[in-house]
Amino acid sequence: MSEPPHPATPAPLRGRGATHNPPVRFEAQHTDAFDDGWGTFDALAAAPPPLATTLIRDASRSAISWNDSPDLGFDRAVNPYRGCEHGCVYCFARPSHAYLGFSPGLDFESKITFKPDIARLLARELQRPGYVARPIVLGSNTDPYQPVERRLQLTRAILEVMARFSHPVAIVSKSAAMLRDLDLLQALAEKRLVRVHLSITTLDPKLARAMEPRAASPARRLQALAALAREGIPVGVLAAPMIPGLNDAELERILAAAAAAGAGHAGYVLLRLPHELRELFEAWLATHRPERARHVLSLIRETRAGKLNEAAFHRRFRGGGFYADLLAQRFATASRKYGFAPRRAELDCSRFSPHPDRAPARQLMLAF
């Protein structure tokens, strides 16, 4: 007796970006769902139950993660969370969840690890002998202002450490929740110690809801960008990722809207699909944009030397070939048109104080 066929595409889970959990690439044994004869498999696949978010304490003993990648532009970052409830299906950080033994699919957006001691650990590392201040990126891997931050406030605790030590910080997020921390951002901005990057992938709310289901709407992000700019906080826009055949036609409109809201600098990144992300994105296309799936994947391959991903330094963020070159030219032209600065303002590393709580030494008086 043969098993009934599996559905060609799983039904999307409400509020989730991924359609399923691909196997963890480091594990030798994998499990697959199948119909056990009770006829429940197809029913569950067609109408899956809601998936709750689980928070897991992370016992890491360090706060700063270091890198020597020649194309990143920074060498250190702090990430209070691993996994991200925003659920962006295209997120390049998804494969990193496999290092924790979790799937980069639904696990990535529903099993969130958090570092309760990260502020204390960060302060300790900033006080180490020989530490030299350079901008720390907050949110290089997963969003520091994802929904759980409202309750745990780990990102705010990190910013308090940055303000206390007068340490420069660059923030990357697609959340309007950072407006909660305007007081800290203003204090840092007064000393040229902060720069904020808001990621806007599309201006289409329906596409945004499908691609990044629990992130702020595009309109809300533009409102947050405008609010930050009004308060004198250096803020820019990241049109990222640009997905050929899906949202790349919006590049100029995103930059125009961000410039009108007060963004002073801009950047973009071409879609990357490392490891399990290839399977996840293909499944998402089959579920949400089946009529475009073949065309989108064909264009991605055109920018990635015939593959769906290219990991080489200096090419992984921009791609290659005619289509990628045209995207780069469009970005450069639009950046000039809308007055974006060719370079981001440098943050002030000279203000860093490794011992901010130490009373200044008193000058001894000589008596004659």
Confidence check: pLDDT of 28 > 70: no
For the chain, what is the largest distance between any 2 Cα atoms, rounded to a whole number of angstroms?
Answer: 107
pLDDT at 9: 54
Confidence check: pLDDT of 366 > 60: no
pLDDT at 247: 98
Confidence check: pLDDT of 265 > 70: yes
Which of 5-9, 46-50, 90-94 is predicted least confidently? 5-9
CATH architecture label of 52-337:
Alpha-Beta Barrel (3.20)
Mean pLDDT score, 187-204: 98
| φ and ψ of 163, to 5 deg | -65, -40
pLDDT band at 4 (very low <50, low <70, confident <90, very high): very low
Mean pLDDT score, 214-236: 97
Which of 5-14, 262-271, 291-300 is predicted least confidently? 5-14
Confidence check: pLDDT of 5 > 50: no
Confidence check: pLDDT of 141 > 70: yes
pLDDT band at 251 (very low <50, low <70, confident <90, very high): very high
Provide the percentage of residues in the chain whose pLDDT is more than 90.
80
Residue 108 one-letter amino acid: F
pLDDT at 363: 55
Confidence check: pLDDT of 38 > 80: no
pLDDT band at 97 (very low <50, low <70, confident <90, very high): very high
pLDDT at 362: 57
Mean pLDDT score, 101-123: 97
Q: How far apart are CA 84 and CA 55, in angstroms?
A: 11
Which of 299-303, 347-351, 354-358 is predicted least confidently? 354-358
Confidence check: pLDDT of 224 > 90: yes
pLDDT at 147: 96
pLDDT at 35: 58
Averaged pLDDT of the chain = 91
Mean pLDDT score, 181-190: 98
Q: What is the pTM of this model?
A: 0.89
pLDDT band at 1 (very low <50, low <70, confident <90, very high): very low
pLDDT band at 214 (very low <50, low <70, confident <90, very high): very high
Confidence check: pLDDT of 361 > 60: no
Mean pLDDT score, 100-118: 96
Confidence check: pLDDT of 6 > 60: no
